[in-house]
Amino acid sequence: MSLRPNGGGALGMLNGTMPRWQERVEANPVADFVDYCLRGVGQVVFMNNPVTGLLILVGMFIASTWLGTAAIIGLVVSTLVGILLGMDRALIRAGLFGFNGILVGAGLSLFLAPEWDWVVIVWIVLVSGFSSILMATLATLFATWNVPPFTLPFNFATLIFLVAALQLANGQLGPLVNPDAVGAVGAEIETTLRATETGGDVGNLEGWANAVMRGISQLFFANSLVAGSLIIVGIAVASRIAAGFALVGSAVGMLTGLALGADGVAIYNGLWGFNSFDACLAIGGVFYVLTYRSAALAVACAVATAVLFGAIAAFLVPWGLPALTLPFCFGTLAFTIMKYTTKKLIPVEPEDITTPEEHLRRHRAAKAAARDGSGAQTQPA
Amino acid sequence: MSLRPNGGGALGMLNGTMPRWQERVEANPVADFVDYCLRGVGQVVFMNNPVTGLLILVGMFIASTWLGTAAIIGLVVSTLVGILLGMDRALIRAGLFGFNGILVGAGLSLFLAPEWDWVVIVWIVLVSGFSSILMATLATLFATWNVPPFTLPFNFATLIFLVAALQLANGQLGPLVNPDAVGAVGAEIETTLRATETGGDVGNLEGWANAVMRGISQLFFANSLVAGSLIIVGIAVASRIAAGFALVGSAVGMLTGLALGADGVAIYNGLWGFNSFDACLAIGGVFYVLTYRSAALAVACAVATAVLFGAIAAFLVPWGLPALTLPFCFGTLAFTIMKYTTKKLIPVEPEDITTPEEHLRRHRAAKAAARDGSGAQTQPA
Amino acid sequence: MSLRPNGGGALGMLNGTMPRWQERVEANPVADFVDYCLRGVGQVVFMNNPVTGLLILVGMFIASTWLGTAAIIGLVVSTLVGILLGMDRALIRAGLFGFNGILVGAGLSLFLAPEWDWVVIVWIVLVSGFSSILMATLATLFATWNVPPFTLPFNFATLIFLVAALQLANGQLGPLVNPDAVGAVGAEIETTLRATETGGDVGNLEGWANAVMRGISQLFFANSLVAGSLIIVGIAVASRIAAGFALVGSAVGMLTGLALGADGVAIYNGLWGFNSFDACLAIGGVFYVLTYRSAALAVACAVATAVLFGAIAAFLVPWGLPALTLPFCFGTLAFTIMKYTTKKLIPVEPEDITTPEEHLRRHRAAKAAARDGSGAQTQPA
């Protein structure tokens, strides 16, 4: 329908949502399935692009083979369940029944133990399958306000399993789930940036670089500079604007953590960045046409999301559970549900979302058409 | 409107929703009131049938006279409040302002103490009255997605009172409400089936039979094989399909508990069955026309609901509160709100719900009519 | 549109929503801004009246200069953010982007420490600004059911910050935030009315008067008989009916606390009154036209809101967080969302709300017009 003018040559073809590629692979069921699985990976960062997805997966495998494998299991199962349930094939093709599954697989690979365990794999299969039911249900709920459920299906499915596992003999919980009494421990927080609890202080530049790039990788449960870099390259393949806001968002998350006086180990390892980067990217060009105002709103959303990370992490202390991407979901929902209450921002409807660049092009074309249209009235017939 | 062809004879008249009986009792206000109170009991298991309700009540009284009495107080009060508030008489007649109240009465009789205490009775009156306000409010909320609020009014009203009672001198909390620190106690869980914490192991067959049938009775806060059997007979009076899915659901809940490694005492006493059985019954024939696919979905919903039971029970540990039927509500909501996102399932609209058998009949009649209609075009006029 | 017949003279002009005053100040941007900030203060108690707001502010300053100053910072910032975001100017003029901000400022001034600290002021600015985003979002969510979000934006924004602050070095939490293990402490509760934990018992009359009037002031985080009296006078300037229900609601909240056996210090200091008074005022004349039935419903809502206060306070014990006005929000939502399910109550649509007195006048005028209209048919032409 909409023209997606990709630049010439092979590299240009990778740009945007790659519609010509999709038309080509649709003929082959296996290639088609692989295509929308990879698009599902990209959809975690709102990029409906298989090359983005591939680069992210490579980053995950570089961080850990088990992480990458578990992620693929979740991705494939949730996509298959979407097909089995008879969900809209266009949504499946856009990867919308894969992006929760990959996060379920990746998340459970980190919080359950041991690695490569068949019981853990069974739980990944069941929980990622359930995430597709929740995707259909939450998409229906949120359609009332014309917003998507973001990664809430992943968060709900994963947290439901993890909290239940606390009191189950076969729950396979790893050491990262660690219930504790809540304390007002503010005064005891060690805020200097360092790699581990016992490690020495690192310089500011080293600390900031790690916080920002590990923040990018932590969205996919990797803690790796290389994975972070590959993910940024993957996003940039589809959209340079999105890649820019990802970096800005991760930095804003880190700075918010520093300003609030958060634990320096958590900041160094990117825990204050991964929710904010995805929220910043979503507001800065994806759900609103990029303007100075939406760029400012994206930064505000990254700050709010970082505070939400602190809040949800502290709220979950009694059960020892991770905040996952709940901060991103609630932060981004808060800044998108309000979209019709202001005339100073230009929302992009969920069904029209492609890339920030194309949103800008469309908006400029619409403005130019409106101008020409009104101009035409003054011209002789 | 819809024809409800009940089989001949007195027994046949008990079948389904008993519309001819209802027409007869409407003339007498007292009989009418008793009729819709009894239908309210049946509505806990989606059976708009006074005989179902009567058999369930008998089961509750056999389990405990105090339980049965408290349940009737809640049932009558919540129905009266529905009338006083001026709610739609058709909904009241269908028992929709009674099924939360009976559960409030039954639940508080178990978690407050002592028995036959007038302060406890006052709390039952107030909380079951409030459940009718919540019913009106939550029904309005969920009507947006064309699903009912299930037993959420009971859950919210009861949990609000129980959590408040923790810090009230007149809260009358019994020993079953027992706040504790959360621990990742998975490894210490004793999973063998047994009747009490200190009791000896029971054989598998004895354990399974108790788990399934006590699971049926636990929905009504009874822990009794006899009550469970009476409830199944009561459901079967209205619908054999529903009775079948009740048993399947209770068994699936038990099996999920066994597979996850849950506490063997909890499983034996039916705590892993009662939410799953009601969820399974709801999906397998009530909210979807019974097909192989909706039967499979009902089993999946029973599994998800069992995991939710584990999750909500663990989440509530810091306050020592019971999960009540929140797992059933959230599990069934997750599997019904998605109903319009798939073409592989045939949803039954809430206002059209009668019994699984009639849903099947109607669906077959509609298919036959569609076939005849298209056939008619090829016949000479 | 609607005639607002205010009584003659200068005092009469203060009555109701003061539309003639608003027309006069609109010409001067500064006076206009001050006007809708003051209306924002009044909107906490549903009074769109700047004199109400002014008297409340005076009461807050009398209670504590820091409280009043912090409240004004929050009020001004949240109103400015509403303007910056390009929100509907009519809503801003009615004070709807101020009433959450003033509560954020007042609340954080109490729960953060020390007083007059610039870091605390920065947090007040950020959190009250965020409350305006949440106002736009939650108003959109709740518009689906034609109810406003009440003070949920204030509650969510403030609680998110406070819970996060538990684990932040710069969180500035004061001693009132005090995490603890939950216990079923009912039996140990000291229920006699007294001013402080260690203070002696006070007489019933002294205790009741303090509970009711401090309950009025606690809505604005003041604990003062004088502030409570000024607030009642402020409400009475706009509406005598509202002032009456405020006093009734505060008394009902206190009585509910006494009946449930709540801590006597909390009751004496108005903690059982402030949510109930606002809820009672909202139901008794604001969201429903005042009738005997809506008056009874207002009392029931005050009781339910008081129980909710106990419940939410106990739920938040593990994090040591205050219930704020969540009980008021949930209680009032429960009693307003149901408004279309009954024909025995006459709801006032949110966009038509002015004062209980005018709602009554309009309703009587509509009834009279209907009577005259039908009467006209029997008269000769």
Greater pLDDT, C11 or B281 = B281
> What is the span of the domain harbouring residue B272?
190-365
Same domain for C184 and C165?
Answer: no
User: Is some CB atom of chain C closer than 8 A to the CB atom of B342?
Assistant: no
Last residue of a domain, one of C112, C146, C177: C177
- Nearest-angstrom CA–CA distance, C201 and C194: 5
Write out the two tokens for C337. Answer: 């969302």
In angstroms, the separation between the Cα of residue B295 and the nearest Cα of chain A is 13
Last residue of a domain, one of C130, C160, C177: C177
Assess contact for C362 and C2: CB atoms under 8 A. Answer: yes
- Set of chain A residues whose Cβ sits within 8 Å of the Cβ of C318: 181-182, 318
Last residue of a domain, one of C111, C144, C177: C177
In angstroms, the separation between the Cα of residue A38 and the nearest Cα of chain C is 33
User: Is B170 in Cβ contact with C259 (below 8 Å)?
Assistant: yes
**Angle at A375 (CA atoms; ends A372, A377), nearest 5 degrees:** 120
User: Is C334 in Cβ contact with B166 (below 8 Å)?
Assistant: no
Q: What is the pLDDT of residue B378?
A: 46
Structural domain includes residue C233:
yes
**Residue tagged 């003018």 (tokens):** A5
Per-position pLDDT tens, chain C of length 381: 333 344 445 566 778 888 888 888 888 999 999 999 999 999 999 999 999 999 999 999 999 999 999 999 999 999 999 999 999 999 999 999 999 999 999 999 999 999 999 999 999 999 999 999 999 999 999 999 999 999 999 999 999 999 999 999 999 999 999 999 998 888 789 999 999 988 888 888 999 999 999 999 999 999 999 999 999 999 999 999 999 999 999 999 999 999 999 999 999 999 999 999 999 999 999 999 999 999 999 999 999 999 999 999 999 999 999 999 999 999 999 999 999 999 899 999 999 999 999 999 999 999 999 988 765 544 443
Residue B113 carries which side chain, given as an amino acid letter? A
Same domain for C222 and C272?
Answer: yes
pLDDT (average), residues B13-34: 86
Same domain for C296 and C321?
Answer: yes
pLDDT (average), residues A1-10: 42
Structural domain includes residue A156:
no
In angstroms, the separation between the Cα of residue C180 and the nearest Cα of chain A is 8
Considering only residues 177 to 196 of chain C, which have any Cβ-Cβ distance to chain A shorter than 8 Å? 177-179, 181
Q: Which region holds residue B9: left if phi is over 0, alpha if psi is between -120 and 50, else beta?
A: left
Interface size A-B, in CB pairs within 8 Å, comes to: 109
**Residue tagged 């800044």 (tokens):** A335
Report the candidate in A351, A350, A345 with the shortest Cα–Cα distance to residue A284. A345
> 3-class SS at B42?
helix
Structural domain includes residue A6:
no
CB atoms within 10 A of CB B174: 17
User: Is some CB atom of chain A closer than 8 A to the CB atom of B338?
Assistant: yes
**Percent of chain B clearing pLDDT 90 (strictly above):** 86
Render pLDDT for A319-336 as a digit per residue (tens, 0 to 9). Answer: 999 999 999 999 999 999
Same domain for C144 and C36?
Answer: yes
Greater pLDDT, A280 or C201 = A280
Domain count, chain A: 1
CB-neighbour burial class of residue B136 (10 A; exposed 0-12, middle 13-18, buried 19+): buried
Assess contact for C325 and C278: CB atoms under 8 A. Answer: yes
Same domain for C212 and C349?
Answer: yes
Report the candidate in A122, A42, A36, A46 with the shortest Cα–Cα distance to residue A79. A36
Same domain for C169 and C187?
Answer: no
User: Is some CB atom of chain C closer than 8 A to the CB atom of B137?
Assistant: yes
A121: Cβ contacts below 8 Å, ≥ 6 apart: A70, A73
Structural domain includes residue B335:
yes
- Nearest-angstrom CA–CA distance, A87 and A82: 6
Hey, of C193, C330, C341, C344, which one would you mutate to test binding to chain B, going by the most B CBs within 10 A of its CB? C341
Q: What is the pLDDT of residue B374?
A: 64
CB atoms within 10 A of CB B189: 17
Q: What is the ipTM of this complex?
A: 0.94
Render pLDDT for B156-200 as a digit per residue (tens, 0 to 9). Answer: 999 999 999 999 999 999 999 999 999 888 878 999 999 998 888
Q: What is the pLDDT of residue C150?
A: 97
User: Is C300 in Cβ contact with B164 (below 8 Å)?
Assistant: no
Assess contact for A59 and A115: CB atoms under 8 A. Answer: no
Structural domain includes residue A126:
no
**Angle at C110 (CA atoms; ends C221, C71), nearest 5 degrees:** 65
- Phi first, then psi: what are they for C7, rounded to 5°? -60, 165
Q: Cα-Cα-Cα-Cα dihedral of B279, B285, B290, B292, to 10°?
A: 10
Same domain for C193 and C276?
Answer: yes
Q: What is the pLDDT of residue C16?
A: 84
In angstroms, the separation between the Cα of residue A366 and the nearest Cα of chain B is 32
Render pLDDT for B223-257 as a digit per residue (tens, 0 to 9). Answer: 999 999 999 999 999 999 999 999 999 999 999 99
User: Is some CB atom of chain A closer than 8 A to the CB atom of B337?
Assistant: yes
Task: Enter the pTM of the model.
Answer: 0.95
Same domain for C242 and C361?
Answer: yes
Same domain for C22 and C163?
Answer: yes
Who among C263, C310, C338 is closest to B164 (CB)?
A: C310
pLDDT (average), residues A68-96: 96
Structural domain includes residue C1:
no
Hey, of C145, C150, C182, which one would you mutate to test binding to chain B, going by the most B CBs within 10 A of its CB? C182
Q: What is the pLDDT of residue B372?
A: 83
Structural domain includes residue C377:
no
Write out the two tokens for A327. Answer: 């901060």
Hey, of C85, C112, C167, which one would you mutate to test binding to chain A, going by the most A CBs within 10 A of its CB? C167
User: Is some CB atom of chain C closer than 8 A to the CB atom of B124?
Assistant: no
- Set of chain C residues whose Cβ sits within 8 Å of the Cβ of B169: 186-187, 189, 191, 260-262
Structural domain includes residue A334:
yes
Among A115-119, A202-206, B341-345, C240-244, the minimum mean pLDDT is found in: A202-206
Greater pLDDT, B380 or B354 = B354
Q: Give me the half-sphere count of Cα atoms (radius 13 Å) on the Cβ side of residue B252.
A: 26
Who among A126, A140, A181 is closest to B145 (CB)?
A: A140
User: Is some CB atom of chain B closer than 8 A to the CB atom of A133?
Assistant: yes
Has residue B309 got a pLDDT over 60?
Answer: yes
CATH number at residue B322: 1.10.3430.10
Same domain for C54 and C191?
Answer: no
User: Is C334 in Cβ contact with B86 (below 8 Å)?
Assistant: no
Who among A133, A160, A177 is closest to B311 (CB)?
A: A160
- Set of chain A residues whose Cβ sits within 8 Å of the Cβ of B279: none
User: Is some CB atom of chain B closer than 8 A to the CB atom of A164?
Assistant: yes
Interface size A-C, in CB pairs within 8 Å, comes to: 108
pLDDT confidence tier of residue B11, bands split at 50, 70 and 90:
low
Same domain for C26 and C148?
Answer: yes
Render pLDDT for A120-151 as a digit per residue (tens, 0 to 9). Answer: 999 999 999 999 999 999 999 999 999 999 99
